[in-house]
Amino acid sequence: MRLIATDLDGTLLNEEHEVSKENIKAIRQAQKQGIEVIVATGRTYFDAFTICEKFGLNTYLISYNGAAIHDKSGQRISSLTMERDDVQYMAKWLEERDYYYEVSTDKKIYIPSNAKEILYREAESLKGTKFELEPIYFEETLDQIFSQSGMTSVKNHEEIMIANEGIYKVFGFSFNDKKRQIAINQFAGMKQFLMTSSMTNNFELGHRDASKGNALKIVADRLGISLNKAMAIGDNYNDVSMMKIVKFSVAMGTAKDDIKELCSFVTYGNDKDGVAHAIEKFMR
């Protein structure tokens, strides 16, 4: 084993959005033995960096689902931004139809000023139906969304376009399955973008060449490491591209069954030090 890539949310981070002592210990032990560790996430670079810095982890960082790569010193070594006209079209479409959305740039995460109201209205509209949300799930979802650093409210999408910032990702979300599918169908034909998902009820769009798998290959080539000596750990569909290109693919115990079936090993859940368990198993 020469290289380990791990996702953040639902994988390295537990339900309190923290990296457990056991996971930190396992990563550091792997690094001491000369194994390169990479954090690969759909989050922005500055958000992921803040998390890694908080828990004392110094790794390569793949962010925005592979649209950006930074080395251990923070130097950006790869960047795939989206065309502004396309982003404007998507943000305008989502805004006019009352979707919660995010536009992630190299500096901020832009969200509608009424973001929470949108989500509360959706939850309220599902009450009394078979799709009614469990209160705990609703609050945990809001906590996950709004725990990101760098979030900035805007009155409308035009304020985002005024900012002269590289745009890496558009994130859409709806608790309403039908409403979410309408948006997915609307953007699915835009071949200049790659669509994926990192959590229940969302969809994400980025540059067509931006994937965790492509980014991981760039880093591995840069380090001169064969992917036959690499492991990837994740829990959701935006992790699949890196799971498919490594020899050792690991699904979290909380992952969906179709993702588990893709992998060579299933570890414990993110609240049970699943990353540490996977690293220790393969190091042995």
Question: One of 7, 47, 106, 235 is an active-site residue; which one?
Answer: 7
From 17, 20, 77, 21, select the one nearest 47 (Cα to Cα): 17
Per-residue pLDDT 10s for the chain (284 aa) are 999 999 999 999 998 999 999 999 999 999 999 999 999 999 999 999 999 999 999 999 999 999 999 999 999 999 999 999 999 999 999 999 999 999 999 999 999 999 999 999 999 999 999 999 999 999 999 999 999 999 999 999 999 999 889 999 999 999 999 999 999 999 999 999 999 999 889 999 999 999 999 999 999 999 999 999 999 999 999 999 999 999 999 999 999 999 999 999 999 999 999 999 999 998 87
Please name the residue that has the structure tokens 């925005």: 64
Phi-psi category of residue 231: left, alpha or beta, with phi > 0 → left and psi -120 to 50 → alpha: beta
Q: Is position 7 annotated as part of the catalytic site?
A: yes
pTM summary value:
0.94
Q: Which domains does the chain have, with CATH numbers?
A: 3-80+210-283 (3.40.50.1000), 84-207 (3.30.1240.10)
> Side by side, which strands form the sheet with 36-40?
76-79, 68-70, 60-63, 36-40, 3-6, 230-234, 248-251, 265-266
Nearest to 106 by CA among 145, 64, 75: 64
Phi and psi, residue 169, nearest 5° = -155, 145
141: nearest Cα among 12, 47, 15, 51: 15
